[in-house]
């Protein structure tokens, strides 16, 4: 694993985080009805987490000598709340996998702090996935 490829992976994570911030903001606006009240609250609180992840990745990429991306990853826009949440669950689970993979790479490269922070971010995303599973169960 070269440092360049590692930075490339972190930039993919960053594009995903920027996309998630925009997706959750969009979905909060599209959450209607009684369930929508709970969803809006959840999306709004998770936007803060995802933006924190994006902030961290941006600083790390710059510190490693890379150029952080500013274009978010594109996402689907299903109409139904259930489809929306299932999409989010799939994306969160993907983020967990990516962070664990990049955490291992950070360890191989000797970036101890980064290894631990990426693991922590994987845990954050796993928590988001659990919350989504709970919501989906009620539908």
User: Could you list the residues that contact Fe ion (CB under 5 A)?
Assistant: 17, 50, 53, 92, 125, 128
Tokens for 89?
């669950």
**Minimum distance of Fe ion from residue 36's CB (angstroms):** 20
Tallying the residues shown for the chain, one arrives at: 139
Closer by beta carbon to Fe ion, 50 or else 105: 50
Closer by beta carbon to Fe ion, 62 or else 123: 123
10 contacts 57 by C-beta, under 8 angstroms: yes
Closer by beta carbon to Fe ion, 17 or else 105: 17
**Minimum distance of Fe ion from residue 128's CB (angstroms):** 4
CA 82 to chain centre: 19
**Minimum distance of Fe ion from residue 2's CB (angstroms):** 25
136 contacts 86 by C-beta, under 8 angstroms: yes
11 contacts 64 by C-beta, under 8 angstroms: no
**Minimum distance of Fe ion from residue 88's CB (angstroms):** 8
Closer by beta carbon to Fe ion, 49 or else 105: 49
Based on DSSP, count helices (H) and strands (E) in the chain, helices before strands: 4, 0
């Amino acid at each position: 694993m070269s440092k360049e490829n590692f930075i490339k992976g972190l930039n993919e994570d960053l594009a995903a985080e920027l996309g998630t911030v925009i997706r959750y903001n969009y979905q909060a606006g599209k959450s209607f009805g009684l369930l929508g009240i709970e969803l809006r609250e959840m999306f709004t609180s998770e936007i803060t987490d995802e933006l924190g992840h994006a902030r961290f990745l941006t600083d790390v990429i710059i510190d490693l000598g890379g150029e952080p991306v500013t274009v978010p990853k594109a996402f689907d826009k299903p109409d139904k709340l259930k489809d929306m949440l299932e999409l989010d669950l799939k994306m969160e689970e993907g983020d967990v996998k990516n962070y664990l993979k990049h955490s291992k790479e950070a360890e191989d490269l000797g970036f101890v702090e980064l290894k631990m922070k990426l693991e922590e971010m994987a845990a954050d995303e796993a928590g988001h996935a659990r919350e989504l599973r709970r919501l989906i169960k009620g539908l």
